[in-house]
Chain A
């Protein structure tokens, strides 16, 4: 067991190592700070692989060397240093660790019973005060299945029952006994907002506002007006204090604090929004109050406004083929992701599912193929960005992960073939250089405490 002291030291180191960001977001008083520590790892050289870098390149018969948690070198004639594990990956492929922009693992866990339904604080329409990380149950069996599918990083979001549902959290997909030991060091916080049917259905059904889409919009604006005033009050106070003047300290409000941090540019907006018309209204709303939307989620109709989304530099996180489960999903088409990508907008494949997260590569493949059959020319090296680098950019962690580049976290998947095939499986999954999953080695297949009753050590197979 690790001592309390070493945990604190690790935490301090990780904060110190994290990239510079606005001091308000990652201040010394950051609560629930990451205690993540990479698992033990060995310096490893994988040779003869087809490598998709995540930056748009495909390297044939290439090698990758990683050591001390970081990628050291990618190239063709890398000499194996002493005491390095060498893996011949002839016929196999390597990609960056996959990233899911929209997961509820840990907040809607397996087993899916009412005791584990912790994702939607539907007690009022704006719960910007709640943080999804406080619901995350690290024992969710789904984390292990997602890892076997090559997922090394994911954003855990609150549900979409509220207009403003609360903060999301970015996790590294390592087995842990606390959420904080999974928390991606230095990742910005996010805030979940939701358009459309879900909030209006839930609150309207109780005779409360919002019961309509116009009620939705009035609700967002009310919150942002309050947040603007709150921010101004604190800004004035902070300025007075820094000028040496005396000022009465305003009282803290967790909800408005989160919203004010969005207005300061320190928290990223991830906005559940299906319809094209509503997405454009949400962009107008963001301009009214001066914040930026990182990504729309479930953006079923992004293909209708792909040019506008490219111009506004807002990502779309999408499914490859879901449609029709409600009216705002009725216009879903299989070419959505490709049409967004080919318009020059940021396209992301997300799961929102404990099953889908295990097959993000298959969904990217579906979307690529659908696009190509509609007349586009999209290669595997381009499409892999939808589940790696584009996601990392929308989460604000691209400096650390999301592509295979020297100096980045060694988050790496070794596939037993082309990951754009349905028959392909992840052979090995490395997180910060540590072998966290190995299909051939049951001792590297983590299962949750809950699933020990299955009396099988090979449920992931």
Chain B
């Protein structure tokens, strides 16, 4: 059963000082775990983690305990950083088919690159608790504009319930190319490419001389402003693109402007893996996706993550789901089944997206100074029969309850009264 982690209160903690609101340092010591640090220490077979005030204070073997620490005996269980899904609509969707509960999709044409969803991400969504108790602690939340090539800007969140989910606002820009981009641009990839080049030219001219600048492309001033950080290489441009020659065209743009670029989808990327690796472009993909579902993914294949990794391409995983965004870790496990290294697969749902989306200095590895986002698993962290036994986000020990667990308990433990009376 679930409650096998024993919390030992070594001493009373948290003495409140009433006049300042200052709380004494909260210290949690997790003992005797198999720790996948994803940092310089690698995997430690039997080690401890000390959390102080929401951050990892140290990771090591037989860390000394003190009376102020809450001690958790992990008894050999495995610990990883909290899982990250790099493409979700968390906080922007409750029920997919009820459009009044969906806020990521825009059909507006006047807002493209400047479209931002940062301020409307709702941490009270039932999807937050469901995902965090299953091990997801970080996610990219991304816009989905239907009628513009630049779909807008995404933001990075943590999955606490504190109503301040955004860790980094507007930290990536999204661009559609391929069949979808062609359809938006007027029916042909040729137009889409021309428009993309015009837009980049505008951004370049604006960067060189904003005073005398006059837009020639379809971008509005606010969009050109919004593209500045991407153009300067400070944040990534995520391009949804699938087939080989489309990727080659995007690589040319990436080279011309020295962009920090991520290919999203990239089903045929394995065919030009060396070129992508050389350009230092990362690939964001769902390892379960292997079907040749369209004419731009005809060369999709099951072990493409393995081939990309062998060529040196950095991998970031997603699973196309918000309701089960946490299950991205199963995509990582599935990729291992197709030959990918286990640690590369785990990194693709933790440290690699952390680095690419700008939080690599605070999340993604289990090392001193990092936020204490971590999961104690009841088995192999990438295995399908494993679940999260205890999740921490920035040191907060998460209450492992969700609407789903309440539903389960209500119907599992039926009483004489109708289920509606059990809460």
Q: Which residues of A contact B (CB under 8 A)?
A: 110-113, 141-142, 145, 148, 197, 303-304, 321-327, 330-335, 339, 354-355, 358-359, 362, 365-366, 368-370, 373-375, 420-425, 450-451, 453-456, 458-461
Contacts and interface: CB of A to CB of B under 8 A. Distances in A.
Scoring A197, A321, A368 by chain B CB atoms within 10 A of each residue's CB, the highest score goes to A321
B259 interface: no
12 contacts: A112-B293, A145-B290, A326-B98, A358-B290, A369-B384, A373-B387, A422-B384, A450-B298, A455-B299, A456-B301, A459-B301, A460-B301
A358 B407 CA distance: 29
Contact of A451 (B127, B298, B324): B298
B330 interface: yes
A141 to B, nearest CB: 5
Interface in B332-369: 333-334, 336-338
Chain B, interface residues (CB within 8 Å), range: 35 or more
A459 B293 contact: no
4 A-B pairs with least C-beta separation: A326-B97, A369-B385, A422-B333, A454-B299
Given A422-B382, A424-B337, A459-B299, A374 B408 contact: yes
Contacts of A355: 288-291
Nearest to A332: B404
A362 B334 CA distance: 10
Q: SS class of chain B's interface: helix, strand, loop or mixed?
A: loop
Given A359-B288, A423-B337, A454-B299, A321 B384 contact: no
A84 to B, nearest CB: 31
B22 interface: no
B78 interface: no
B386 A111 contact: no
Contacts of A323: 323-324, 404
B300 interface: yes
Interface of B: 1-2, 94-98, 127, 288-295, 298-303, 323-324, 327, 330, 333-334, 336-338, 378, 382-387, 404, 407-408, 411-412, 419
Given A373-B2, A422-B383, A459-B300, A321 B337 contact: no
Nearest to B270: A456
Given A422-B382, A461-B303, 5 more contacts: A303-B408, A366-B385, A369-B385, A373-B2, A374-B408
B383 A421 contact: yes
Nearest to A370: B387
B330 A450 contact: no
A195 to B, nearest CB: 15
A369 B407 CA distance: 18
Nearest to A201: B97
A370 B387 CA distance: 8
A371 B209 CA distance: 63
Nearest to B378: A373
Contacts of B293: 110-112, 354
Scoring B97, B295, B386 by chain A CB atoms within 10 A of each residue's CB, the highest score goes to B97
Given A362-B384, A460-B302, A425 B337 contact: yes
Contacts of A366: 384-385
B95 A324 contact: yes
Contacts of A326: 95-98
Given A145-B290, A322-B324, A456-B299, A420 B411 contact: no
A350 B301 CA distance: 23
B411 A339 contact: yes
